[in-house]
Structure 1
């Protein structure tokens, strides 16, 4: 699967998001839910904070995991037209190489950090759910190099740009949602995760989804029974992970 095919294929879902737009730190954000104690930071894939699919996912997490959910813009205002999903002829409208340069880890890390610090001032418990681009960033937010911890748990769905070093440094309960086919979270990285993370002394959940591909969590086809069931299961396991570590006693 080529890079653009991996990043730009998928389906736009039906539904009406129920949240509102506001600010988290200095970032425009989609916000939904009203739990004063528990927050979930959702870090979107490259379709970003306005994408209806991920706003619907935020609504789901707010209700099912009983949290206030924030999904900030971490792409400097860039919005990809969702119509690109439905028309391969429009892929050249999007410069993937420029996107990578403009949203390099070093470029966006200060914003990620400031958003989490803002959440710490408001909420007692913080979880992170990151998709694709949000995979590496959730791991960096959950790193053992932060003292005190920045967040209480993370869940990474089909992570992109995730490195072995970032997995080495994990310091909070961590979940990985992994499709069978993924050019970003490769077989080598999957093996490394399952060999190394269990040695780090943190709770670890590896949820494997056969027969589906990268981006299924956020852009899967609801009319394809296998993809639909995988999407439902992915939401279910992520909600369970957030409830365990944000509403449980937090001990491990």
Structure 2
């Protein structure tokens, strides 16, 4: 959560608490606020490594399989979650699924979240066309889109890995949920707070460079190449 910063607030506060070390820097400098001595950073949430029980995982996969019409009992599952939009990189998530369709057909990509807008000429129209082209939500396919809702916790419990495909995403809560359930996560370096030094000590998080130009060989050039998430993710440990 971010609190709006105004000159009056900075002038009267004894100590400013902030959750992001970079986001407020420009506005604080405008009012001559000394961030080194007059503020501190409180982490949004601790990153807790955890696991789900095998029974809970099996039950979650059973419910997800019933909802998608495909048996996922023995599949590798890569999840994504959040609002369907350009900033979240949902299109990059789809491209990664395209790569794995040939490279690792046993890997299934599942995105859960709302926001698809069939009338949005900036993203929604083209994204819907993209989904049709790749055969999303076909029982014999490897890419599924679920609406936000009660299946969210089942997706978190069932997945082996999370691909945080966002182009810009400070500290999305879905990552905390994923790591707490034993998932590994891959993200683009510089695109999220999970690429910052604070989280570099976690072996659950892998960072990959953000593509800077259109790939020459189709979507393969834009996807994370990591052994734990993205193409060919490892199963839960």
> TM-score, length-normalised on structure 1?
0.41
- Bigger share in strand: 1
- Structure showing greater radius of gyration is 2
- Bigger share in helix: 1
